[in-house]
């Protein structure tokens, strides 16, 4: 007997907002299967407001309301039975965050929780990585967003430690990541990976997904440090307009992909990792799984 549940996750990030609708297939005697039904991404760059001005602009509040109304309708037609909406770095640093939360609750009937970096890292780490995690290996899982980067270290199939840093693509574009933050990130990675013979990276986020797609590799095959470094050189050699016209990047991806690649390359260098795996997972997937298993 098969039972299908429909759960949804809304991820309100610094560079974009996403709605993920997932079919959860339950069958007696088997683990639940999580199958993506629909994924909608809206390029509203809240971090540009929050990190530079300190609050979400009226224009972006209106855009958020429209997007959330659309998300509500999509969940209705898909017959979603349960959802959670989490806002991350940009919203948690905006002075008017809770005013925005109240407006969206009232106008779009969507309840949003603004979560801290620690909870974000834990939720992301709760995604299903069993198909990648080999019990005798060590992995550093990293998710690069617009406002922050989350790390989780796995060894012997178990999570060892998680950490969030205020180093994201939108911050880097606005030159708002200090040398101190870079040094803290380097020290944390080196300290927590130094006791292991070999570390492999697992990366998530829209930018590394795009880089993986551009590579033409099949799923479950990693990107090498050499490949990523060559792409970084290529991207830097092109203008913003050329990245859109010649590489086919979306306008809201063509600028942030460079600082994102820089973060991934630094993490590989500091951890000694030669390869990075790119499963199609992220905060939204973590929300759905954590919700289903009663962890949040």
Residue 159: predicted pLDDT: 85
Query: pTM of the full predicted structure?
Result: 0.89
Strands lying side by side in the sheet with 112-114: 33-42, 17-27, 2-12, 82-87, 112-114
Residue 118: predicted pLDDT: 81
Distances, alpha carbon 279 to alpha carbons 17, 89, 282, in Å: 20, 23, 9
Average pLDDT (175-188) is 97
pLDDT over threshold 70, residue 131? no
Residue 216: predicted pLDDT: 93
Q: Which of 71-75, 123-127, 195-199 has the lowest mean pLDDT?
A: 123-127
Residue 111: predicted pLDDT: 97
If one counts every other C-beta atom within 10 angstroms of the C-beta of residue 3, the result is: 10
Residue 178: predicted pLDDT: 96
Q: Give the residue from 63, 188, 196, 201 showing the smallest Cα distance to 117.
A: 188
**Residues above pLDDT 90, as percent of the chain:** 81
Quick one: pLDDT band at residue 1, thresholds 50, 70, 90?
A: confident
Strand pairing report for 33-42 and 138-144: unpaired
Q: What is the pLDDT of residues 188-204, one digit of tens each?
A: 999 999 989 899 999 99
């Amino acid at each position: 007997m098969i039972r299908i549940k429909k759960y949804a996750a809304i991820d309100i990030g610094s560079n974009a907002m996403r709605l993920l609708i997932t079919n959860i297939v339950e069958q007696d005697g088997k683990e639940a299967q999580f199958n993506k039904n629909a994924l909608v991404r809206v390029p509203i760059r809240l971090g540009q407001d929050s990190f530079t001005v300190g609050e979400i602009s009226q224009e972006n509040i209106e855009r958020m309301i429209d997007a959330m109304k659309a998300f509500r309708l999509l969940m209705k037609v898909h017959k979603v039975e349960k959802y959670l909406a989490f806002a991350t770095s940009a919203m948690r640093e905006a002075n008017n965050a809770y005013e925005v939360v109240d407006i969206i609750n009232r106008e779009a009937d969507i309840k949003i929780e603004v979560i801290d970096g620690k909870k974000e890292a834990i939720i992301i780490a709760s995604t299903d990585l069993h198909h990648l995690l080999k019990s005798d290996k060590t992995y550093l899982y990293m998710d690069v967003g617009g406002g922050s980067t989350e790390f989780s270290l796995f060894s012997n199939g178990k999570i060892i430690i998680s950490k969030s840093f205020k180093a994201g693509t939108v911050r880097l574009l606005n030159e708002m990541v200090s040398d101190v933050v870079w040094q803290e990130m380097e020290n944390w990675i080196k300290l927590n990976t130094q006791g292991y013979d070999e570390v492999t990276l697992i990366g998530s986020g829209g930018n590394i997904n795009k880089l993986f797609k551009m590579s033409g590799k099949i799923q479950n095959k990693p990107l090498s440090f050499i490949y990523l470094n060559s792409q970084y050189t290529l991207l830097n050699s092109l203008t913003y307009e050329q990245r859109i016209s010649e590489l086919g990047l979306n306008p809201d991806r063509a600028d942030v992909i460079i600082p994102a690649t820089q973060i991934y390359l630094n993490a590989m260098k500091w951890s000694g990792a030669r390869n990075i795996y790119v499963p199609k997972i992220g905060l939204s997937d973590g929300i759905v799984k954590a919700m289903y298993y009663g962890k949040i």
